[in-house]
């Protein structure tokens, strides 16, 4: 075994990005950023009010997106520290899945009612829907 870490909640999502970074999403809404090369926990943030459903790294903007069962997507700066930049909420229509384009600053969100919408992360605006 190369590395082991124990956190205070169940792990619900894992995302490896870059050369040695690992994001851990937890059942209690906690997000952990682990530097595997240094074998240490860099940041632990208690942010969402429910289970982390998905973590996505947006390489064009070098930002992290987290989707939670609390019907929110949060945008994070992971370059200097785990700092929240923006929050998207969808109270009436829960978001079920997110993904991003690697070559531009947009994310695609799938919703429980079948809608798919594209958001521009540069301007934090709704771009189009299908």
Which phi and psi angles does 121 have, rounded to 5°?
-80, -20
Query: What is the CA 90 to chain-centroid distance, rounded?
Result: 16
pTM: 0.86
pLDDT score at 98: 94
Domain count within the chain: 1
DSSP 80: S
Helix (H) or strand (E) holding 116: strand 116-120
- Please answer whether residues 111 and 94 qualify as being in contact, where contact means their C-beta atoms are separated by less than 8 angstroms: yes
Whether 118 maps to a domain, the answer reads yes
pLDDT above 70: residue 40: yes
> Rounded mean pLDDT of the chain?
86
Parent domain of 102: 11-129
Whether 58 maps to a domain, the answer reads yes
User: Tell me: the pLDDT tens digits for 48-96?
Assistant: 999 999 999 988 888 899 999 999 999 998 887 788 888 888 878 999 9
pLDDT: which is higher, 126 or 50:
50
Whether 116 maps to a domain, the answer reads yes
Three-state DSSP at 122 gives coil
Q: Which CATH number does the domain housing residue 65 bear? A: 2.130.10.10
Whether 2 maps to a domain, the answer reads no
Q: How far apart are CA 24 and CA 17, in angstroms?
A: 11
Whether 68 maps to a domain, the answer reads yes
Whether 106 maps to a domain, the answer reads yes
């Amino acid at each position: 075994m190369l590395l082991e870490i124990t956190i205070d909640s169940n792990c619900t999502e894992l995302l490896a990005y870059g050369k040695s970074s690992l994001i851990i999403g937890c059942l209690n809404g906690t997000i952990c950023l682990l530097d595997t090369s240094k074998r240490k926990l860099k940041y632990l943030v208690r942010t969402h009010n429910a289970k982390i459903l998905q973590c996505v790294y947006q390489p064009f903007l070098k930002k992290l997106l987290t989707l939670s069962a609390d019907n929110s997507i949060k945008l994070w700066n992971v370059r200097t520290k785990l700092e929240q930049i923006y929050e998207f909420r969808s109270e009436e229509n829960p978001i079920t899945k997110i993904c991003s384009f690697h070559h531009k600053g947009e994310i695609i969100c799938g919703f429980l009612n079948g809608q798919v919408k594209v958001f521009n992360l540069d301007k934090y605006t709704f771009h189009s829907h299908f």
